[in-house]
Structure 1
């Protein structure tokens, strides 16, 4: 069942939701098409057309061939030119807000963010991550330095739904 954080994420009403959870169905609400890394070109086409998309970069439990969990599966996904190009495009065109992601897997999004920063240098788009205040300060500094991700500290995981709802209110009031 969808949790409070999932409902708050959906309430943000953003064009693109991206998840590393291959078994996450809660974000696929009506009107939001779900795509895996294997369908990256189709996902990018729908995003360009203004459609709401759920991009499941670790695949979907509904498509065994798309699931990314092992080193070989990571390598296969990383070798897919369409998936790489889609992520590169999204990282430069959209501001990411990371929620519930630790950037501690050297084969995962941290690699993608790091490669993006290396490719674009000072022109890299700034991204953000909600991070517990208890996280080590050196981790926040590493995210900022290596991936251009600014940590937004919070006190307790239970605060996330309220933080996301406040962000949704704020973003709706912007011109």
Structure 2
């Protein structure tokens, strides 16, 4: 077995041990494999609760770090159980090999908006006074400002980054 294969097997084994022990370590754990790694994550401040439901809907800002493919600024949503949600240990998820669940919550992250980005997204943050404005930093010397409400859910296939504002003047990458 190659050293790389051994290392991957070791990582997978450690992950399985961690996942088996999560009920003892945390009140709740949701896992979801993203298509690409993300160097930045931030919770958006808006939270939605549907009357009579046992969950709230939250949104996240993510940025991709791809291997020479198109990078994206991503707005994703997920559902989290409310304090009065009932845990159902009798549910078994064959696909994940896990027990448990909360009512109607799927525990998955759904991508709402993907915006073409120039280079990987090293950092992305929303503006506290106006959370629809997002600033991103990539490996080049520019900072991009996006109004995510002005971008379609599916990115333009031309792969051109179209921020509302490009700030220039930084001398180092993000």
TM-score bin, normalised by smaller chain: under 0.3
Scaled by the length of structure 2, what TM-score is found? 0.26
> Which is richer in strand?
2
Please tell me whether Structure 1 or Structure 2 has the larger radius of gyration of its CA atoms. Answer: 2
Asked which structure has the greater RCO (Cα within 8 Å, sep 6+), the reply is 1
> Which is richer in helix?
1
